[in-house]
Chain A
Amino acid sequence: MIPINLDDLDGLPALKPGVMKILHTINQDDVDITNIAKSIQRDIGMTAGVLRVANSSFYGRSNQIASVKEACVLLGKHTVRNLALSSAVLNHLTPSNDAAFDCKALWQHGLGTAAVSIVLAKQSDVDEGNAFTCGLLHDLGRVILAIHFPEHFSTVLNYQNDHHCLLQEAEMTVLGIDHAALGEELAKKWNFPNHICRVIGSHHQPEHAYKNNLPRLIHVADIISHGLELSSKEDNLIPSVDEESVKQLGLEWTHLRGLFKEIEETYHSFTSLLDAPNP
Chain B
Amino acid sequence: MKQTVSPELLAPGAKLAEAVCDASGAVLLPKETELDEHLISTLCTKKIAEVVIVIERTPTEQAAFDDELKAGLDRRFQLASGHPLMDSLKQMILEYRCGE
Contacts and interface: CB of A to CB of B under 8 A. Distances in A.
Interface of A: 55, 62-64, 164-166, 223-224, 226-229, 234-241, 243, 246, 253-254, 256-257, 260, 264, 268, 271-272
Nearest to B73: A227
Given A227-B77, A257-B96, 16 more contacts: A62-B24, A227-B76, A227-B89, A239-B79, A240-B83, A240-B85, A241-B80, A243-B85, A253-B88, A253-B89, A254-B92, A260-B92, A264-B4, A268-B49, A271-B49, A272-B49
In which size bucket is the chain B interface? 20 to 34
Contact of B76 (A224, A236, A240): A236
Nearest to A261: B96
Contact of B23 (A64, A223, A226, A238): A64
A256 B50 contact: no
A227 B23 contact: no
A271 B6 CA distance: 12
A238 B79 contact: yes
23 contacts: A55-B23, A62-B24, A64-B24, A164-B78, A165-B79, A166-B79, A227-B89, A228-B93, A237-B76, A239-B80, A241-B85, A241-B89, A243-B85, A253-B89, A254-B88, A256-B92, A257-B92, A257-B95, A260-B93, A260-B96, A268-B50, A271-B49, A272-B49
Contacts of A241: 80, 83, 85-86, 89
B70 interface: no
Contacts of B88: 253-254
Contact of A240 (B24, B86, B92): B86
Contacts of A260: 92-93, 96
Contact of B80 (A63, A224, A238, A257): A238
B24 A237 contact: no
A240 B95 CA distance: 20
Interface string B67-100: 0000011011111100101101110110110000
B25 interface: yes
B24 A224 contact: no
A226 B29 CA distance: 32
Nearest to B91: A257
A190 B73 CA distance: 37
A238 B77 CA distance: 5
Contact of B89 (A55, A63, A164, A256): A256
Given A227-B90, A243-B85, A254-B88, A238 B76 contact: yes
Contacts of A271: 49
A55 B78 CA distance: 39
Nearest to A169: B79
A120 to B, nearest CB: 13
Contacts of A239: 79-80
A240 B77 CA distance: 9
Nearest to B84: A243
Contacts of B90: 227
A228 B90 CA distance: 9
Contacts of B83: 240-241
4 residue pairs, one from A and one from B, having the closest CB atoms: A257-B92, A240-B80, A240-B83, A260-B96
A237 B78 contact: yes
A185 B14 CA distance: 49
A236 B78 CA distance: 10
Contact of B4 (A63, A268, A272): A268
